[in-house]
Amino acid sequence: MKYKALVATLLLTLSAGAFSATKLPHIVILATGGTIAGSAASSTQTTGYKAGALGVDTLINAVPALKDVANVTGEQVANIGSENMTSDVILKLSDRVNQLLAQDDVDGVVITHGTDTLDETPYFLNLTVKSNKPVVFTASMRPATAISADGPMNLLEAVTVAADPDAKGRGVMVVLNDRIGAARFVTKTNATTLDTFKAPEEGYLGVIVGGKPEFETRVEKIHTLRSVFDVRQVKTLPQVVIIYGYQDDPEYMYDAAIAHHAAGIIYAGTGAGSVSVRSAAGIEKAEKAGIVVVRASRTGSGVVPVDSQQPGLVSDSLNPAKARILLMTALTQTKNPELIQQYFHTY
């Protein structure tokens, strides 16, 4: 009898363990390449490595602790350095995320990405994902082969955030270096350091302490489910270019944008989006050609105010790279300047 009772207890324990495992959230990791999948010739090499050298299965297998926080599966969407990210790839990524999150058996998505344009792709998904399930981007500043590579911990923490019930409805997030950033605000602020991703004015959504996400705030700007943007049937995004403002900036840059049939121009202006006389002339020509022009600031933070003495629309607090993402997305819906300006104030 004692033997039978012992066997029964053991079976019950194993059954409970199996049941518990099936209750872990299902998180899908979509890999796009970047430094987190990078490989170098030596363990001390942190520059000059090959980005996107490793596949998604290698990334997952390098972090055995993932199995303790979620049932993880992976897909390879691309394998490139994020300096080579294109609108075609981000459209494909947005579409795949929407497909996955529409499934009842998927609880969240984590996306691995290079850091160079990590302030752009997450913001595009923040505008175009139609779900309140967590979408979390992560990356690394050191290749996978480096001493103290930051990728494995960043991946574990990203999955931990995506698996947390309190992560729902917060918009697309970016997790690196123990911090949880909002796609709307976070940006790369240093070329090489581990703590490069920050939101200088707005701060973080939260932090990760002892393996547990600690959320502190939410983003009031419109995102995901409340967004009017739906690109699921869009095959190509309108062409939007960035023109940088500086001393002696030439008018012919606008001639080039017109000649190449750009749909929009982001002017990365000095100060609060100030426009030189040369750029003002170029903007006037561009607008006459039907191009939507939006003034942003090259300073990296702060709001560009509406100014009747300056041409073009304004980006609100979006930096030039993020402003380009919003203008591309907005132009899939409308070319109405008043409506586009409203988008910049609310997204």
Rounded Cα distance between 232 and 78, Å, is 19
What one-character-per-residue DSSP string does 181-231 give? EETTT-EE--SS-TT-EE-TTT--SEEEETTEEEE-----S--GGG-----
Distances (CA, A) of 2 to 7, 8, 16, 87: 9, 10, 21, 66
Residue 149: closest CA among 21, 49, 28, 270 = 49
Kindly state the tokens that stand for 119: 């302030």
Q: Could you tell me if 196 and 221 are in contact, meaning their C-beta atoms sit under 8 angstroms apart?
A: no
35 is catalytic: yes
Q: How big is the CA angle at 306 (ends 304 and 310), to the nearest 5 degrees?
A: 95
The catalytic position among 32, 35, 117, 145 is 35
| Active-site annotation, residues | 35
